[in-house]
Amino acid sequence: MTCDKYENALLLAAASNGELDAKLAQNLERCSTCRMTLRSERELFSRIDSALRAQVNGDPRPGFLAQLRLQLSKKLTARPGSDRVWHVAGAALALVLIAMFYPLVNARQSSVQGNLQTPTIKAPQSGSVTQSPRASEDLGVRSRHHSKRPAGAVPQKPEVLVPPDEQKAFAQFVACVARRDAIAQAVVMPATNKTVNRNTELPQVSSVDIADLQLVRARQEERIDQTGRSE
């Protein structure tokens, strides 16, 4: 065996600093070069370890803390910039979302306000009950299923949403009410406009008889006595 064969084994033995293999130990007894190599390698590792311990466990070099504070301050001042970028991005995203959804919300609110207005009921042109679908169309009565109006469009006339199965009855009701304008006016007219005839004048009394309560009782007792004597 040559010494080159034990080169790696020597390095491993020096690095691990453990017990030597039997064959390696025999080679070290015979070869002085290998003994020197092992010794120098062990010394190298021991120097490395001692230097590392000195660096890790020793006091920090002068100016280390100042340099550390400087680096920390740089990182702390650099962080708000990145946050500012995120804030700007968030604001831009919020604006885009508002621009996307504002027309939809605005149109929906207009539609709701239009439905909340007092509906104006028109009398049908040719008022026969059999033409109730036509009458309902004239009156702006539409069902949800038949409405072809695109979403977001503001209705020109106030519409009354009636389920399909109740459209006919509602049209009959509207036609009936339309023939009775007085009833329709009474129904549609707000309560504040209604005038109620109330008699707010005080009752007038021409003359009042005021009698003493004790005198009245005495007269009643006299009457009772007289009736008792006569009997």
Question: Which residues are at the interface with other proteins (CB under 8 A)?
Answer: 11, 14-16, 40-41, 43-49, 51-53, 55-57
Task: Please say which residue, 11 or 123, places its beta carbon nearer to other proteins.
Answer: 11
Task: Please say which residue, 32 or 125, places its beta carbon nearer to other proteins.
Answer: 32
Query: Nearest distance from residue 66's CB to other proteins, in Å?
Result: 20
> Which of 103, 102, 118, 85 has the alpha carbon at shortest distance from 187?
118
Tell me, what DSSP letter sits at residue 146? T
Query: Nearest distance from residue 12's CB to other proteins, in Å?
Result: 8
Residue 112 has, within 13 A of its CA and on its CB side, a CA count of 6
70-95 b/e (C-beta count within 10 Å ≥ 16 → b): eeeeeeeeeeeeeeeeeeeeeeeeee
Query: Nearest distance from residue 27's CB to other proteins, in Å?
Result: 20
Query: Nearest distance from residue 99's CB to other proteins, in Å?
Result: 47
Query: Nearest distance from residue 106's CB to other proteins, in Å?
Result: 56
Task: Please say which residue, 14 or 178, places its beta carbon nearer to other proteins.
Answer: 14
C-alpha 143/C-alpha 160 separation (Å) is 8
Q: DSSP secondary structure string, 27-38?
A: HHHH-HHHHHHH
Tokens of 35: 């003994």
Task: Please say which residue, 44 or 98, places its beta carbon nearer to other proteins.
Answer: 44
Task: Please say which residue, 8 or 77, places its beta carbon nearer to other proteins.
Answer: 8
